[in-house]
Amino acid sequence: MSGNPQRGRDLYLTGCQSCHGFDARGIQGTAPTLHGVGAASADFYLTTGRMPLDDPHSQPDRTEPAYDRQSIDDLVAYIGSLGGPEIPQVDVVGGRLNLGEGQRLFTNSCAACHQIAGRGGVMSGAFVPTLLEATPRQVVEAARIGPYVMPRFSETQLNDRELAAIARYVQYAKHPQNPGGWALFDVGPVPEGMVAWLIGLLALLLVIRMLGRNEAP
Amino acid sequence: MKRWLIAALVLLLGKLRPPRALPPGRPVREPDRRAENLTFLLLLCAMAAAAAFIAFYFANPDTQFLGATLGLAFVLLAAACLVAGKRVVPQIEGVKERPELEHPFEQDEVVAVIAEGGEGVSRKRFFLLAGGGAAGLMGAALLTPALSCGPEANRVLSRSPWNRGRLLVTELDEPIVAAGIVVGELVTAFPSGADKEDIASPVIVVRVRPDELDLPDDRRGWAPEGLIGYSKICTHAGCAVSEYRYPSYGPTAPGPAVVCPCHYSTFSVTEGGKRIFGPAGRALPQLPLAINGDGQLVADGDFSGRPGPGWWGVRK
Ligand code: FES
């Protein structure tokens, strides 16, 4: 990863300064300072296409990144030079990472909002994004920086190894094994309940039909 | 159903009336012994299941066991009714035109005809006992849960494990170091040495910037360094309040709040748990916090209100 902070600064002046200010110290009521947010934040927001944002008062959603990889690296290098956390190193394949542990931790810390299969949803005041496209590095970055209204997770709550386990589970959850058959888009109990209702109703109709049979008088 | 009702009526009448001699020359139906035995057996099992329900209610009120035993009792009773209706009580249907009944002796005649339907059933007294026993036990099983509304309920619902100096611990019983919680983080905690399943046990602790705090005046000092504690049990219907939103930049995003995933009740964490959205009827009870000499989180008293969903007498 070789970003050029000088070129990053140029890109910043054309793409970002209208909201974050000439010196990247933010504009009151519009956008926060970027001093101290670190390379991790810049990498997360830029690689997920969440920044630049047209309307600073709307929720930043995942889109196609506005910059190519080299420009992102340059911007990240510039923002990183203002201080703050580095891009986390995530190794989801190596180490002793247990998928089951990842699922357990994801259940405890993430599933309340993102749902157990990572398909997202809503909460009051915000949409919860799906994790279908999240890369392991983006998962770890998001947990550490808490983008938009997402809470943060510090080292004491989830250490790096545990976060990597979660990231591994998120990768798995994109294409989970469904030995039970049709997964119904992995969106949880509502469609499953609907199917159960339909099947149950058919069974009931059958029973009713049998009960109602009457011998001709 | 109709058959069973008739069967019950027959049994009852057969019991109340003195035995009558059958008119001579009428064919007598042989009782089906095996079906009768099966019915007894099913009724006995239904009784056992109902008794098991009552036993589980007192010994180990796990909803799975309660549901299984009560469901089983109903299934067995239904099976007994089925066997009795199909095989024990004679299955002859006939329609006989009759004029309006006017005289007492005509009514007697009708009753006698109905009673004849009970022929072919031996051991009626036994049947009556088993049926009555099953009905009684199942009635008792259905009524036992009403005990949960008794005075015990108030005691269970109003006890709280929190008091001044009680250490907050994680799920793994480790103390919580105040400095380990960063702004924008949510931690679930429990009282040390108490039952974690108790409705008043689980709390959430969040850290906000101290200048964001907007607590009621009588709660100054309840949130040292911006660390605030609330009951984790939703005041609407008792779900775990597990969603947390904390804006990384306040002016362009919704404010810091915890959200209940069940029906989206939203409680502001900076304003003392005030409900700002959703069906909950009252604020989330706040737990006063303090930091002890070792930098660990401790409670500084009991909740600001009763934790858990509302019940009689607890609305505010
Ligand atoms: S139980 Fe929390 S909103 Fe209904």
Flag residues of chain A having pLDDT under 50. Answer: none
Give the pair of three-digit tokens for residue A140: 């770890």
- The listed range with the strongest mean pLDDT (B6-20, B120-134, B274-288) is B274-288
Domain range summary for chain B, segments of one domain joined by +? 28-91+106-148, 161-299
Cα–Cα distance for residue pair B275/B184, rounded to 1 Å: 19
Q: What is the pLDDT of residue B61?
A: 83
pLDDT at B14 over 90: no
Distance from CA of A110 to the nearest CA of B (A): 9
Q: For residue B240, give the DSSP letter.
A: B
- Considering CB atoms only, which of B184, B249, B251 is closest to A152? B184
- B26 is written with which tokens? 């009428």
**ipTM over the 0.95 cut-off:** no
Q: Is B246 on the interface with A (CB under 8 A)?
A: yes
- The answer to whether B206 touches B200, Cβ cutoff 8 Å, is no
Assess whether the C-beta atom of B15 lies below 6 angstroms from ligand 1: no
B79: CB partners within 8 A, 6+ apart: B42
pLDDT of residue B178 exceeding 90: yes
The atom of ligand 1 lying closest to the CA of B239 is: 1
The residue whose C-alpha atom lies closest to atom 4 belonging to ligand 1 is B263
pLDDT of residue B315: 53
pLDDT the model gives residue B23: 53
Q: How far is the CA of B259 from the centre of ligand 1 (A)?
A: 9
CB contact burial B186-206 (16+ within 10 A = b; e otherwise) = bbbbbbbeeeeebbbbbbbbb
Q: Is B281 in the pocket of ligand 1 (CB under 6 A)?
A: no
CA of A137 to the centre of ligand 1 (A): 34
Nearest to A154 among B181, B242, B264 (CB): B181
pLDDT given for residue A144 in this prediction: 94
The answer for residues whose C-beta is within 8 angstroms of residue B133's C-beta and 6 or more apart is: B43, B47
| Residue B154 clears pLDDT 60, i.e. is over it | yes
- If we measure between CA atoms, which residue out of B10, B2, B8, B5 comes closest to residue B117? B10
Nearest-CA distance from B263 to chain A in Å? 10
Which one-letter DSSP state was computed for residue A24?
S
Q: Please indicate if any CB of chain A lies within 8 Å of the CB of B243.
A: yes
Candidates B255, B274, B277, B256; CA nearest to B266 is B277
pLDDT on residue B21: 52
The CATH number of domain B161-299, selected from 1.10.1040.20, 3.40.50.720, 2.102.10.10, 3.40.50.1370: 2.102.10.10
Shortest alpha-carbon distance between residue A109 and chain B (Å): 9
pLDDT, mean of residues B156-162: 82
Query: Which chain A positions have a beta carbon within 8 Å of B253's beta carbon?
Result: 59, 126, 148-149
Q: What is the mean pLDDT of the segment spanning B26-36? A: 71
B276 lines ligand 1 (CB under 6 A): no
Return all residues near B182 (Cβ < 8 A) that are at least 6 apart: A152, A154, B207
